[in-house]
Amino acid sequence: MTSEALVDYRVNGAVAMVKMNRPDALNAFNIPLREALLAALNEAEQDDRVKVVVLGSTGRAFSAGADLMESPENKPSVIETLLDGYRPLLEKISTMPLPIIGMTPGVAAGVGAAVLMACDLVLMAEEARIYMAFSHIGLVPDGGATWFLYQHLGYQRAFQLIVEGGSLDSQRCLALGIANQVLPVDQLEERALEWGGQLAQRSPLATAEAKRLLRAAATSSYAETYQQEAVAQHRCIASPESKAAVEAFKAKSKK
């Protein structure tokens, strides 16, 4: 890809490295970046080589959020922007069967924080943080950020963070379960590729089903989840990967 591409897409083994590439704008989302990122995720999903996606960025920020400098001319309403512009991207992250590792070298603000929290796994640099700047300009979080924050923080802490326009540093994100690992910034990409390679060795079907089950569990009853697990287990146990693994286990046990 050229250096001017809004998203840098590269495949390393079974891992697709997808990087937002508007570093001068701190990877703030405008219409072209949203469309390019969604296209890159679709490309990864359709690429038979790819088993895991790493979603990162160039420059010092993951994303500063929505680009407030974007020209208002012919711009759709806020509702249209969020429902027709951002929702397809966030739903792609949450529903595509491939696991997505979010990787942030610095700040993830506004809707950029929502995109990061939507990922299945999150790696943060030591200096990285999630920033809810909305209340400073008389707005509320969007992109599903209130849902993600409520899941991790509970009501009171999420409310405080939102109305105060505060931020969560990497260690706090780690303690709250927003981040899985915190690393020096120069180790992020290497670790993401290593982790992605390890996950790629697992059954793609089992990984996809686990993602689907956990995503649904947040809004499902115990009985509904139990039922969904049974159906998923039926799919997995009949898969070639599971059958081969069971046979290998049996052979090893007989020795």
Distance CA 229, CA 252 (A): 28
Kindly tell me the sign of the dihedral angle through the C-alpha atoms of 117, 119, 123, 128. negative
Residue-wise pLDDT for 87-124, tens only, equals 999 999 999 999 999 999 999 999 999 999 999 999 99
Distance CA 104, CA 216 (A): 26
Residue predicted with more confidence, 246 or 182: 182
Average pLDDT estimate for 198-209: 96
Residue 95 · residue 42 · CB < 8 Å: no
pLDDT of residue 213: 97
pLDDT of residue 204: 95
Confidence of residue 149 (pLDDT cuts 50, 70, 90): very high
Q: Is the model's pTM score more than 0.85?
A: yes
pLDDT of residue 74: 66
Average pLDDT estimate for 122-132: 98
CATH class label, 7-200: alpha beta
Q: Residue ranges of the domains in the chain?
A: 7-200, 204-254
> Across the chain, what does the average pLDDT equal?
94
Confidence of residue 3 (pLDDT cuts 50, 70, 90): very low
Q: Extract the tokens encoding 243.
A: 């059958």
Confidence of residue 178 (pLDDT cuts 50, 70, 90): very high
